[in-house]
Amino acid sequence: MTSPRPLALIISFIHYSLIIAVLGALLTGLRILTVKAPIGALGIWTYIIPQGSVYLWHGIFAGLLCLTFFAYLYILLAYKRYRLFIPTKAASNDTHAPQNKSANSNKALAFIFLQLSVWLALALLSGAIITGSLQFFSVYAGNYEKLNKIHQLFAWALLGFFIVHALIALVAKGIPAVFSIFTPKLGDHKLVLATTSLAVALALSFIYIFIPKQLQQELVIHALSDKPDGLTSEGASESIQLDGEASDSIWKHIRAVHVTTVGGSSLENGQVTVSVKAAHDHKHAYFLFRWPDASRSLKHTPLIKTEEGWRIMQSGLLNADETGFYEDKFAVMLSRSDEIAGAGTLKLGHRPLKHHPRPIGQRGLHYTDDGSVTDVWQWKAVRTGFSLGQADDNHFGAALPSDSEFKRYTGGYQRDDDCEHLVRWEAGDYQLKPECGGYISNWKLLKEGIVQPRRLPKNLNAVKHIDKLDLRHNSSDRGKWWMDWQDSQVYSADSDTLPLGSVIPSVLSLGPFKQGRGDVSAAASWRDGYWSLEIKRSLSSNSKYDLPIEDGIFFWLAVFNHSQTRHSYHLHPLKIKMN
């Protein structure tokens, strides 16, 4: 019995939707793989697969896949169409088949496999939907890495299934059957009706994106006592000393919010959970972050003296992809948008901006499409943390043009001040620009091989302890891995009396940031396998690059485990609520 015309139209619409959803999810999923894959791992595919707001579109295609998949299951059961995919002897007979018995046998067998393959497709789609949904809703069961790999296996299996399915269809029904997947029979129904149905399905798939809005965690920023003496009724002090020790009594009375971040480099099981507490005194906000880290990483691409000269200890620095000799970092982002995966600022791809330089790491850039700004604070253990007592106040905004072919292009990731150069050359030596502060690298030109240091320590004994420490990149570091400017001298071959094998820091500290980059104070400590980081910033700011800390602002976190750019992330933000 033929299907009613409305049912035929529905089946056709599901057919088209399912094809688009699966292909879209596979292609965008391939691009997401580049976030963690080594540079260039996808080869020629990197020039074919989508770029830009890939996480958003992957979620949209996943939503469409869920809707069409469950609609198809309903039709199978409600209209008993599953009977069409139960192999029978009669179903495999072909009245138009050639008289060759061997050929008939092969066609019959292929036809049976074709029917059974529908059930395999349903099983693979079920696995991909379940594992993808668990990741989307941040249910990792303690092992994101394993869950992500299982999801990838289902995706690759689906891709393999389509290829095998097409080959079986070729044997069973000939070449026209291979292409019939893209041209389901609509009878006398107009194609525009199927297209309209598909548009409705795409609109409905956005539900998959907006459901998490109802599940967002709140980050309550608790008000400290308004009493002049700063004491609670119990007599416990509510003042907060920014020392990174988290010993102030107020922290004991605030419940922590826990955020599981995933995908970063060198993380156990591919994930790390950050606890967050927050308070304010009506002028400033205070945040306490704690996260596990087996090692305290402070070695930031140090310089080592070899027989040929000074070399940078690194393995990926030139591609902005150092994951060995690098300091631990922690980042906070404030945004007005809650779009998944970084408020819409993350654009994946080898060249997401056609008329701008390629990202040096070939994995993507941060920028906003509408010119809006997200506020980004980066605590860098050596460069801004222990040396300056600050977090670097930056922002993601509109993508700017490149101003130098020698500098790494960062799109919309920019500083909050106008200090392009932090030092100036005068009278045969570099002089500090007192209006800036900050840090610079201790080499004149970043390159492979031999480099010339900018400066050497005035007191050579001050750095002799460094080369005696454990130089393995996953060791827990001690000591001072930066040089203060005033404790160093300009490099010259005559003053370079350090013996071979000597190690000196690559970070030259110029003193605290003086302009917009210095708006965020920070202090940290590492103890018993945990980092504790306290951050302080004004609730409001006059800078056009800063966002106020107020109700409705979204809050994002990222952990860098001795990694330059491969940080952890979470898909859905916290939402600030002032108490």
Distance CA 374, CA 338 (A): 11
In angstroms, the CA 366 to CA 553 distance is 19
CA angle 61, 62, 64 (to 5 degrees): 65
Print burial letters for 364-387: b (CB count within 10 Å at least 16), e (below 16).
bbbbbeeebbbbbbbbbbbbbbbb
pLDDT confidence of residue 344: 94
At residue 448's C-alpha, the angle toward residues 445 and 453, to 5°, is 40
CA distance 12 to 344: 33
- Which structure tokens are listed for 463? 């750095």
Q: In this predicted structure, what is the pLDDT of residue 526?
A: 97
- Centroid of chain to Cα 313: 26
Residue 301, C-beta contacts closer than 8 angstroms, at least 6 positions apart: 312, 313, 314, 317, 322, 325, 326, 506
Residue 428: Cβ within 10 Å count: 6
For 486, counting Cβ atoms within 10 Å of its Cβ (0-12 exposed, 13-18 middle, 19+ buried), the class is: exposed
pLDDT of residue 203: 59
Total count of residues recorded for the chain: 579
- For residue 562, the model assigns a pLDDT of 96
The three-state secondary structure class of 508 is strand
DSSP state of 44: G
- H or E element, residue 170: helix 144-173
Contact predicate 418/436, CB 8 Å: no
* Residue 542 near residue 262 (C-beta atoms within 8 A): no
Place of tokens 């299907």: 3
Note the pLDDT of residue 281. Answer: 95
Spatial contact of 265 and 569, defined as CB atoms under 8 Å apart: no
To which H or E segment does residue 415 belong? Answer: strand 413-415
Q: Are 508 and 488 in contact (CB under 8 A)?
A: yes
Q: What is the pTM of this model?
A: 0.89
**Could you tell me the end-to-end alpha-carbon distance of the chain, in angstroms, rounded to an integer?**
66
Q: What is the pLDDT of residue 297?
A: 95
DSSP reduced 3-state for 538: strand
CB 507 within 8 A of CB 382: yes
Can you tell me the distance from the alpha carbon of 89 to that of 87, in angstroms, rounded to the nearest whole number? 7
- Number of neighbours of residue 203 by Cβ within 10 angstroms: 10
- Residue 32 near residue 348, CB atoms below 8 Å: yes
For 448-500, the DSSP string reads SSEE--SEEESSGGGTTTGGGS---TTSPP-S--SEEGGGEEE--TTT--PPT
Helices (H), 206-302: 207-210, 249-252
Give the pLDDT score at 97.
Answer: 46
> What is the chain's pLDDT, residue by residue, as a tens digit (579 residues)?
444 466 666 777 777 788 888 999 999 999 999 888 888 777 888 888 999 999 999 988 998 888 888 888 877 787 777 776 676 654 445 444 445 555 556 566 666 666 777 788 889 999 999 999 999 988 988 899 999 999 999 999 998 888 887 777 776 666 665 555 555 554 444 454 555 555 555 555 566 556 667 668 999 999 997 544 443 444 345 789 999 999 999 999 999 999 999 999 999 999 999 999 999 999 999 999 999 999 999 999 999 999 999 999 999 999 999 999 999 999 999 999 999 889 999 999 999 998 899 999 889 999 999 989 999 999 999 999 999 999 999 999 999 998 777 789 999 999 999 898 888 877 667 788 889 999 999 998 898 899 999 999 998 887 777 767 777 777 889 889 999 999 999 999 999 999 999 999 999 999 999 999 999 999 999 999 999 999 999 999 989 999 999 999 999 999 999 999 999 999 999 999 999
Q: Tell me, what's the pLDDT at 187?
A: 47
- Strands (E) located in 208-281: 218-223, 257-262, 271-280
Q: How far apart are CA 567 and CA 361, in angstroms?
A: 14
